[in-house]
Structure 1
Amino acid sequence: MADSTKEIIHGIIQGFRDSILGISKILKYDASIDNSEGELKKNEPQTTLARRRAEKQKLKGNLEIKENKKEATVKQRLFQCSVWNGGVFLTSIVLFHWALLPCLLWFTELIFAGSENLNITWLWISSLLSWIFGALWILPLFVISKIVNCMWFQDIADAAYVRSRGRPTPINLSVLVADLLFSVLLQAFFLIQSTLATFLPIPGVGYLVGFIHMSLLYSLYAFEYKWFNMGWEVHKRLAYIESYWPYFLGFGIPLAFLTSMSASAVISGCIFSILFPLFILSANDAEESSQVCHSPLRLFAPVVMITNILFRQSVKSKSTPTTQQSSSPKKQTRITEPATRR
């Protein structure tokens, strides 16, 4: 029992350390394609003989340029995520709630000073402005941010993976679509499960269980890009997290803690979008714990079962019209022939 507790604590500390120290590796991505191209142009030989000699290094120069492009893509996407989610989205929310509304409240108090209708008037004004701001600004911006962030996160993950591990494992398109749909549906159910866990009647336990859910989910988000490029299927990814859960719990604690500091889901989403690319880089360079936990945490088992049931029902519903249409004996024979050959 003591050894098991020590392993769990050691795994949590190791995961927490890797998530924080991995962020510092962004300093490695300091090469710039513009500087490299400038140096190549500056040192470009002028004589014909020198140019012929330079052709021998052409392949090497192209590889260096491609490598710099990947590094530039990482830094560029990180900057775009920070500017968009922090400079535009989050700043607009802060200015509205902590600058515009207080100024309007002061102006309203100045106009309706001593009036009994001050509170009712301000309630109507603030509610109307909040609704307009949310409907015409927050909601469209939130949807756009989700789409744009997904593309930027993928670019960061792919560029970092190619730089450190080489080309991703090729995957069939049908397998890619099925894996993506299954993973998105499973993560949605797991998020609902974590929300329901916070309503446990025991004080403090509900928050702790929900926090563990979110930490593991954020670790899955971060490592999923690397594992997918390695060719791991979704069931293998989940089984790996459940077997080494102390490490992934520790890895997801920083991001789960920072996003839980705000009660607003929108602000938490902005914080997540700003910091998450850094954790993608940490996960890409991290060396996961090799110590299997003797007490696996099967938190994903319920949502995996539900997702499997839904996928089976959808497959059955798609295959039913095909079987109904094949009513003639010849058609039925043609359908069953491949199964007989197997």
Structure 2
Amino acid sequence: MDIKNYITAVGRGLFDSFRGIRTLFTMDKEMNDRMLSRLSPSHATTPIRRRTSDIQDNTPVRALKKHEESKVLSRTIQCCFFNGGTFLFSIILFEYGLLPFINFVLQFIFGKESFMGKIVWSWIEPMLSIIFKTMWVLPLFVLSKIVNCLWFQDIADTAYRYSRGRPQFMQSLSKLLADLIFSIVVQALFLVQAMLVEYIPIFWVGYCLSVIHMSLLYSLYAFEYKWINMGWELHHRLSYIETNWPYFIGFGLPLTIFTQLPESCIISACIFSITFPIFIISANEASPITGICDYPMHLFSPVIKVSNFMLNRTIGSKKPMAGPSKPHVR
């Protein structure tokens, strides 16, 4: 085992996780230029011809704007505005603006050290928090999950077409749906496993194992859009991560750190939704370092077995999914 190769793979993963930042600002222009050239190669010959063509009703430019214009940057800005500007800002405003202001008013009315003021505040503060979370945070959180899924998929599909061309989906729709359902179950159980290992009595062992779990899980989140478009089944995707785990630990580490900084799970989810589009684009542009691991890290095997058991009990007796096997090199 060459430690230098492992460190290099982790460093390459870290570097590749930020590649999407540069690509984000150039992708739309290059994608739209490609589409224009396919619609009319002679369209972009001169600025005069381009302006004249724009005036007409059935020009390639109008067709592009109406149907196929790439909007990755705008989708990413929408994610930032919706999750950060609307959702996260409202939570921060409530926690650090409205509640302290009401507390200040009560102290002004009853006195700073007044026993009555403290009693009133002990009733008002939890009541306002419950109302705010029930009437605003929870509905908006559910809505954000749905909207983010649509926007993430749009960003991922455009990024894939930008770097690799037309997606190659699985041949059977039922097979694709079964793969997606099983993937959701596996990811949910793996998240539970990541939380459980953190309770190992030796603190640093538990913490490091939890960080490794979350880094691999976030890498799976980011690369899964690309791999599904490539036609890879779940066992292939998991096996590829387990076999090349140093690279994927490095790739998912920044997102793990970003989401673990806040204590609130809601704020952590907001930060994830704001930054995740960058990692989707980075995953499409990445070239993982492979073939350096002598020993795969079989962290997904336990949740595969549990998932098979759960689905067999709930859906019926079907052929269980095999554990991750060594993937074919593509």
Please confirm whether the aligned pair reaches a TM-score higher than 0.5, indicating the same fold.
yes
The 8 Å contact of residues 108 and 118 in structure 1, kept in 2 or not, is answered as: yes
Larger Rg: 1 or 2? 1
Deviations along 1:181-227, one digit per CA (max 9) or x if unpaired, are 00000000000000101111102221111111111100000000000
The 8 Å contact of residues 70 and 160 in structure 1, kept in 2 or not, is answered as: no
In structure 1, what is the equivalent of residue 121 of structure 2? 122
How many Å apart are 1:70 and its aligned residue?
4.8
- SS of residue matched to 1:290: coil
Equivalent in 84, 92, 95 of residue 93 of structure 2: 95
In structure 2, what is the equivalent of residue 111 of structure 1? 109
- State TM-score, norm by structure 1: 0.82
How many Å apart are 1:43 and its aligned residue?
2.3
**Counterparts in 2 of 1:1-342, with a 5 A limit?**
1=1, 3=2, 5-31=3-29, 42-44=51-53, 61=60, 65=64, 69-71=68-70, 73-113=71-111, 114-171=113-170, 172-316=172-316
In structure 2, distance between residues paired with 1:228 and 1:245: 19
The structure that is helix-richer by fraction is 1
In structure 1, distance between residues paired with 2:296 and 2:217: 16
The 8 Å contact of residues 72 and 155 in structure 2, kept in 1 or not, is answered as: yes
The 8 Å contact of residues 17 and 282 in structure 2, kept in 1 or not, is answered as: yes
In structure 2, what is the equivalent of residue 333 of structure 1? none
1:223/1:102 CA distance change after superposition, 3 Å: same
Q: How many residues align?
A: 304
In structure 1, distance between residues paired with 2:62 and 2:160: 16
The 8 Å contact of residues 219 and 248 in structure 2, kept in 1 or not, is answered as: yes
In structure 1, distance between residues paired with 2:116 and 2:318: 61
Deviations along 1:49-76, one digit per CA (max 9) or x if unpaired, are xx9xxx9xx8xx47993899453x2112
How many Å apart are 1:258 and its aligned residue?
0.6
The 8 Å contact of residues 54 and 62 in structure 2, kept in 1 or not, is answered as: no
The 8 Å contact of residues 33 and 68 in structure 1, kept in 2 or not, is answered as: no
1:287/1:182 CA distance change after superposition, 3 Å: same
Deviations along 1:75-106, one digit per CA (max 9) or x if unpaired, are 12111101100110000001001111111110
In structure 1, distance between residues paired with 2:134 and 2:61: 49
Q: Residue 164 of structure 1 aligns to which amino acid in structure 2? A: S
Greater Cα shift, 179-188 or 165-174: 165-174
CA RMSD of aligned residues (A): 2.8
Q: Residue 104 of structure 2 aligns to which amino acid in structure 1? A: W
1:177/1:103 CA distance change after superposition, 3 Å: same
In structure 2, distance between residues paired with 1:316 and 1:274: 39
Q: Residue 234 of structure 1 aligns to which amino acid in structure 2? A: L
Deviations along 1:112-161, one digit per CA (max 9) or x if unpaired, are 11522222211111111001000000000000000110010000000111
Q: Residue 162 of structure 1 aligns to which amino acid in structure 2? A: R
How many Å apart are 1:318 and its aligned residue?
8.6
Q: Spell out structure 1 runs of 4+ moving beyond 6 A.
A: 36-41
How many Å apart are 1:311 and its aligned residue?
2.6
- SS of residue matched to 1:27: helix
The 8 Å contact of residues 247 and 288 in structure 2, kept in 1 or not, is answered as: yes
Q: Residue 18 of structure 1 aligns to which amino acid in structure 2? A: D
- SS of residue matched to 1:44: helix
Q: Residue 101 of structure 2 aligns to which amino acid in structure 1? A: C
The 8 Å contact of residues 215 and 250 in structure 1, kept in 2 or not, is answered as: yes
Show structure 2 runs of 5+ residues with no match: 37-42, 320-330
1:165/1:66 CA distance change after superposition, 3 Å: farther
- SS of residue matched to 1:294: coil
In structure 1, distance between residues paired with 2:205 and 2:318: 43
